[in-house]
Each structure stands twice: as C-alpha cells, then as structure tokens.
A = this chain, B = another copy of it.
Amino acid sequence: MSNRISRLFNVKYPIIQGGMIWCSGWKLASAVSNAGGLGLIGAGSMYPDILREHIQKAKKATNLPFGVNVPLIYPDIEDLMKIIIDEGVKIVFTSAGNPKIWTKHLQDEGIKVAHVIANSKFAAKCEEAGVDAIVAEGFEAGGHNGFEETTTLTLIPKVREQTILPLIAAGGIATGRQMLSAMVLGADGVQIGSRFVASEESSAHTNFKNAVVDAKEGGTDLMLKKLIPVRLIKNEFQQRVKQAENNGASKTELTEILGKARAKLGMFEGDTVEGELEIGQVSSIIDSIKPAGHIINDIVLEYKVAKEQLNHIKYSF
C-alpha cells in the first residue's frame, strides 16, 4: 500500500472503476474491488431503494472497500445519502455539483469523499470543501463532460499546479500504458470507465457492450453542448442531434429531441439505434469483453511493462 490513493481507499491498486449510470451496479463494483481496484456503484440511474439493494449485495460479494458515485444533481439526494450512511459505505465520489454541500457531512460519518471536476478552477473549491481526493476528467471521457473541452493531457498538469490533494486522472484511460502516462503528468491514480463498461460484470446491455467493442476511432462525439455536453457513440439518435445542432437548434428543440430515458434505452435496454450510448473516445482501443478482474490484471501488467521499458535507451538522452 505504497501510493496515497491506494492508502486513502485501502485498496491494492490506485485504479478506480468509474461509477457509471446503467453500467456499474454491485456486480461490477465488487468484482473490481475483489481484484484489488476500487469499485464504485453508480447511483445516478438508481432509485434510492435500488441503491440500497446494490450496496447490500456488494457487501455480501466483497469484504474489500467499494464506494458509491453520486451525481449531486440527483433529485432525491437526501434519501440517497441517508442510505449510503445507514449502510456503512465508506467511500463516496461526488460529481456534477458543489462539493461544499455534502463533503463535511459525509466525512463526519467516517466517509472518504472524492469529487469530480473538469476544470482546474474547481480544484480550489474542492480544497475549500475539504475533499479527500480530486478526480480530474478530460474531454475524451464518456458521458457528461466539461464545457471547456480540456483534454486529460492538458488538464492533469493544470490541476496538479493548483492543488496538493491526491489526484485521480480520468478520461482516455483504458490501458496500463495510459495509466502510467497519466501518473507521469502528476496523477496519483486513475479512474477508468469505458474499459469496465465492456466487462462481463457490467450491467450494460450486451448490445451496448458490443457497440463499445465495435467502436472505431472517431466513433464518438461530444453532443448537446447547448444543454450539458455528453460524449456518445455515433448512431441514428446522435446523427439526428448532430443534424439539429448543425441547423442551429435551440435548447428547447434539443431537449425535445433528447426526450426522456434515452440513456436507459440505449445502455440498459440495448437499443443501439435510438438510445443514448455514453462512452469515451478510448472505446476505439477496447476490443474485447472480459471479466473485470482480468481487466485489472491487464492494466497492472501493462503499467509495469511500460514502467520497465523506461529504462530502455529510447527514453534516455
């Protein structure tokens, strides 16, 4: 336990499986934790009772630490947080909101809190809120995304300039080589989403998992920038949004095209034509569906190989 992220969360590897709507329930989170990473249950797509069920199942499936990701825009957030505290969850990742509102309260219950940002100016707010760690997520990430479009390669050094807090890099990371690359930039750990969508234990629909494996370079696009930017696999729904955006569609028109429950339709129910398929650019280098534990092992091995290779003459001058 040599790294401050692994120490903070009491896990073997500083590898966090991102909490993702419709994809990361108890099965994925516990599989990742059992393999030495930190698994997160994605509460964003769960009713409070469903979250309770997932936490209870995760506790049975692993004795190792796991956490819950909570988007702070969640409507019944008090209920959600109460369940997290009641069930004795020890790690919470918050996103999409102000970290000041919940951090202290959770910490008073003995919970470690990490907060997700996409802009270094929020690093100061995270420090003021007293979070235990920061996740900085770049433009290439799947799902909801920052307005500044700062890529991970640019964002991580910038956030590192602003804070001494433990820092977790996210966006564009699926391999151990990319993990080491992010660590070189100043991160202490990584959060990986897309790679775990295409895992056996992910609750994503098989059609969605296959779409991730099939995704080619340039196969995703950052859409709906007039609402909240979201990275999606290109499909018929996305093309309709693109067309509307190219024609200058208003917020109202875009909201109407989006409609309701499209993420569930695509990611959980498997409609890859009309559904919203949230995934990162790095899907272009994901080519298989594996057990989460194998993915963790692959990443650790790739990381170690990449680190060893730095002793090669290629890197010396």
Contacts and interface: CB of A to CB of B under 8 A. Distances in A.
A12 B181 CA distance: 24
Interface residues of A, number: 61
Contact of A284 (B158, B184, B316): B158
Nearest to A188: B314
Interface in A239-298: 246-249, 281-282, 284-285
Interface string A122-161: 0000000000000000111000000111111111011001
A204 B248 CA distance: 35
Given A158-B217, A317-B3, A150 B185 contact: no
Contacts of A221: 149
A101 interface: no
Interface stretch (A50-58, A60-68, A75-83, A171-179): A171-179
A59 interface: no
A306 interface: yes
A14 interface: yes
Given A3-B315, A140-B153, 7 more contacts: A139-B151, A153-B178, A157-B177, A161-B285, A177-B186, A181-B181, A310-B310
Interface of A: 2-4, 6, 12-14, 119-121, 138-140, 147-155, 157-158, 161, 171-173, 175, 177-178, 180-186, 188, 217-218, 221-222, 226, 246-249, 281-282, 284-285, 300, 306-307, 310, 313-317
